[in-house]
Amino acid sequence: MTLTANEKTILMNSIRDIHDFPKLGIVFKDITTLLADKEAYALLMRHLHQRYASYNLTHIAGIDARGFIFGAALAQMLNVGFVPIRKKGKLPYTTVSEKYSLEYGFDEVEVHIDAFSNVESPRVLLIDDLIATGGTAFAAANLINKVGAQCVEACFILGLDFLNGQEKMAEIVKIYTVLGVD
């Protein structure tokens, strides 16, 4: 299932640009306006549901925090489980973690050690709102595989094409980006 040019325009027009946030020179893509637009949000979620209905998924894993919004809704629509992948120190039970590099240092994401143990041969879709350099998503996909599940695809609502994060992700998992931004 592919979006038409008109549908892509509807979605892009529902996303607000915030200039110089979080720092000078950055144009932040604000998805809160997409979420507030019931027609655009419904269009996006119908599209994702149609795309993933035949994937035989057992879980959707959403990356902290905006991936939770799309992931939990899609999991409910597909009648599969939802698993949060969080920043270090935010999950209450025993976790497995994966470090990734930032421009100046490192960060870490975690998942519960038993997040996918409720089914045999878990098949997981990783989802987030945006892929930029791909560090967080790359770590999250590795984390899913590390705890015994199969990350079958990574989905992003927006891809910042000029930062090459999608190429990095494609080294380890199939990816799908709903909207590309040059």
Q: How many domains does the chain have?
A: 1
5 domain residue, yes or no = no
pLDDT single digits (tens) 54-71 = 999 999 999 999 999 999
98 domain residue, yes or no = yes
44 domain residue, yes or no = no
pTM value is 0.96
Give residue 111's domain range. Answer: 56-181
32 domain residue, yes or no = no
Range from 7-11, 53-57, 100-104, 112-116 carrying the lowest mean pLDDT: 100-104
Q: Which residues contact 92 (CB under 8 A, 6 or more apart)?
A: none
28 domain residue, yes or no = no
Give me the pLDDT at residue 161, please: 93
